[in-house]
């Protein structure tokens, strides 16, 4: 499939291409849970324990009301949708789960799993960023192409991906809920790892707001820009002019030079220094 054709296909197109018009004709079978492998494209890695336990209790009483969907593979089945139901069924002590087997092709399965799960509201910001990166790598998308597929702005996608550049310790704090999405995005603008860790600790200990961190980040960027600001042509020309004036006024000839953005005067002896000081003092008095 040509890349420009692929980009025009969104999630709704993928679903409609593989839509089952008569669900009642699909066979629901019981499949052993240990024969179902997780979907490698599933971005969600963290599941709310309380919510999972509640679902498990419901399944224990009422059973699994909606079948999961799987794909047949060599050693069993690969889960397409229904990971929470599978996990909760295991917690409830069930050995099997009702499932519908569909023969999805691998390309469609990758696209569906990535693009559908990216848009889940219960993903953490780290899981969302990892899902974006996985989609970009697996489906060979640019930031712009991915943003068009999931209905987000390109800047949102890029800023979210920037979180993955943070140190592992900071990502752990984000996953634990100690650092918010807004904090994480602000921290990802910094380059100094030690500074990132220091500010992250301030967030946790002093409950700094996102606005506080954004202000700190702006100051950091401004400070670094000042350090990196190159010496302009006007400054260099001014040094050269001052050097020439010193040479002419005090008859110093080649003893006055410009070095490392400084004017350097070389003297042969202390007497020469005293002589220069006297001439300078007289000049300043005029």
Active-site amino acid positions: 83
The Cα 181–Cα 184 span in angstroms is: 5
- What is the number of alpha carbons within 13 Å of residue 125 lying toward its C-beta? 27
- The Cα-based distances of 210 to 1, 192, 207 in angstroms read 44, 19, 9
CB 49 within 8 A of CB 91: no
Query: Is residue 243 packed enough to be buried (19+ CB in 10 Å), middle (13-18) or exposed (0-12)?
Result: middle
Angle (CA) 164-113-56 rounded to 5° is: 95
Strand partners, 70: 79, 101
């Amino acid at each position: 499939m040509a890349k420009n054709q692929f980009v025009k296909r969104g999630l709704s197109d993928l679903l409609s291409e593989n839509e089952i018009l008569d669900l009642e004709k699909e066979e629901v079978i019981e499949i052993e849970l240990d024969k179902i492998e997780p979907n490698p494209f599933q971005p969600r890695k963290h599941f709310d324990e309380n919510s999972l336990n509640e679902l498990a209790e419901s399944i224990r009483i009422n059973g699994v009301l909606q079948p999961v969907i799987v794909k047949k593979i060599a050693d069993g089945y690969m889960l397409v949708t229904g990971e929470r139901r599978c996990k909760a069924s295991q917690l409830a002590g069930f050995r099997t789960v009702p499932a519908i087997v569909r023969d999805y092709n691998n390309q469609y399965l990758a696209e569906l799993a990535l693009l559908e799960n990216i848009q889940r509201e219960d993903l953490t910001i780290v899981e969302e960023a990892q899902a974006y990166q996985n989609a970009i790598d697996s489906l060979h998308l640019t930031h712009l192409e991915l943003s068009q597929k999931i209905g987000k702005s390109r800047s949102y996608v890029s800023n979210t991906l920037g979180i993955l550049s943070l140190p592992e310790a900071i990502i752990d704090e984000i996953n634990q809920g100690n650092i918010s999405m807004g904090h994480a995005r602000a921290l990802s603008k910094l380059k100094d790892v030690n500074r990132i860790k220091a500010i992250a600790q301030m967030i946790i200990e002093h409950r700094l707001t996102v606005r506080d961190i954004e202000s700190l980040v702006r100051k950091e960027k401004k400070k670094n820009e000042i350090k990196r600001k190159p010496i302009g042509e006007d400054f260099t020309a001014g040094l050269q002019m001052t050097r020439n004036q010193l040479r002419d006024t005090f008859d110093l000839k080649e003893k006055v030079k410009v070095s490392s953005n400084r004017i350097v005067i070389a003297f042969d002896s202390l007497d020469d220094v005293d002589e220069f000081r006297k001439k300078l003092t007289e000049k300043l008095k005029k």
